[in-house]
């Protein structure tokens, strides 16, 4: 490493080779100084206590004021200082050092930030900022619309009106397409072979019951025609019960379908 390591451009070495700046030059010097201090290797180095004090003063000077972060900032400073003076192996690359520091402290920073973001004064300030931003935007939009009108050029609002008309037309075409599909496929519930077979089966069952009821009516009419009184219904209980229940279900289904059609949900 040369003294020119923090320079901005490549320099030539005595052997004519290009030399490039060390991106971590400053960090390295700081790192070497700390290490030297710890080992007492270099002349003019300061004592660990002095280094700690210097470190604290620097952190104190850079602490974010009135943000509620000062205690955490001081805590971090003490942590870093202790780490440096503990003789623990610190990464030589400043970026690695930062990442290590971030991973160690992220949770505490997050908690502090969360605490701050919940403070009523911060919430009020944020709310005010959004309101100002929204009102400013509203005014600018209004002015821009006016300007476009005076210049007799279509404004953004005009374009969106046209786009809206296109969307409405598109929706109408969709509805026509949907109606065609309904016509071709029927409702999706009956779009498959299995469902169709089920529907036909149910229809056949209802026809059978209808025929059976017709037979009863005919039999009763015949008895009346023969001068007798209509006999009480003696058809098997379960069949009658089943018939009633099914009719009830059927009506309920029809009601539901009719309600759904009426309620605009399109649930047919």
- Does residue 86 bind other proteins (CB under 8 A)? no
Looking at the Cβ atoms of 52 and 75, the one nearer to other proteins is 75
Q: Distances in Å between the alpha carbon of 10 and those of 5, 66, 203?
A: 9, 44, 90
Looking at the Cβ atoms of 18 and 229, the one nearer to other proteins is 18
Minimum CB distance to other proteins, residue 42 (Å): 22
- Does residue 70 bind other proteins (CB under 8 A)? no
- Does residue 126 bind other proteins (CB under 8 A)? yes
Out of 57, 135, 244, 261, the only residue in the binding site for other proteins (CB under 8 A) is: 135
Interacting residues with other proteins between 211 and 250 (CB under 8 A): none
Tokens 């700046």 sit on residue: 21
Binding site for other proteins (CB under 8 A): 10, 13, 15, 17-20, 22-24, 93, 95-96, 98-99, 102-103, 106, 109-110, 113-114, 117-118, 123-124, 126-127, 130-131, 134-135, 137-138, 141, 156-157, 159-161, 163-164, 167, 170-171, 174, 178, 181, 185, 188-189, 191-192, 194-195, 263-267
């Amino acid at each position: 490493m040369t003294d020119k390591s923090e320079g901005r451009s490549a320099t030539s070495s005595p052997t004519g080779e290009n030399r490039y700046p060390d991106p971590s030059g400053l960090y390295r010097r700081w790192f070497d100084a700390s290490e030297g201090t710890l080992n007492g290797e270099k002349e003019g180095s300061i004592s660990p206590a002095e280094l700690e004090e210097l470190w604290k003063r620097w952190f104190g000077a850079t602490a974010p004021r009135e943000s509620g972060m000062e205690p955490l900032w001081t805590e971090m400073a003490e942590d870093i200082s202790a780490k440096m003076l503990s003789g623990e192996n610190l990464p030589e690359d400043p970026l690695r050092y930062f990442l290590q520091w971030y991973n160690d402290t992220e949770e505490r920073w997050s908690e502090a930030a969360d605490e701050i973001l919940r403070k009523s004064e911060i919430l009020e300030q944020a709310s005010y900022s959004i309101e100002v931003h929204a009102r400013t935007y509203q005014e600018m939009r209004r002015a821009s619309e006016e300007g476009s009108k005076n210049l007799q050029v279509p404004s953004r609002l005009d374009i969106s009106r046209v786009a809206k008309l296109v969307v409405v037309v598109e929706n109408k075409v969709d509805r026509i397409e949907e109606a065609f599909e309904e016509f071709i496929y029927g409702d999706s519930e009956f779009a498959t072979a299995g469902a169709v077979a089920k529907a036909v089966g149910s229809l056949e069952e209802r026809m059978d019951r209808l025929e059976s009821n017709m037979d009863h009516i005919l039999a009763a009419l015949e008895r009346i025609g023969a001068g007798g009184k209509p006999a009480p219904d003696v058809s098997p209980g379960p069949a009658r019960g089943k018939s009633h229940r099914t009719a009830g279900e059927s009506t309920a289904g029809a009601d539901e379908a009719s309600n759904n059609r009426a309620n605009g949900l399109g649930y047919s």
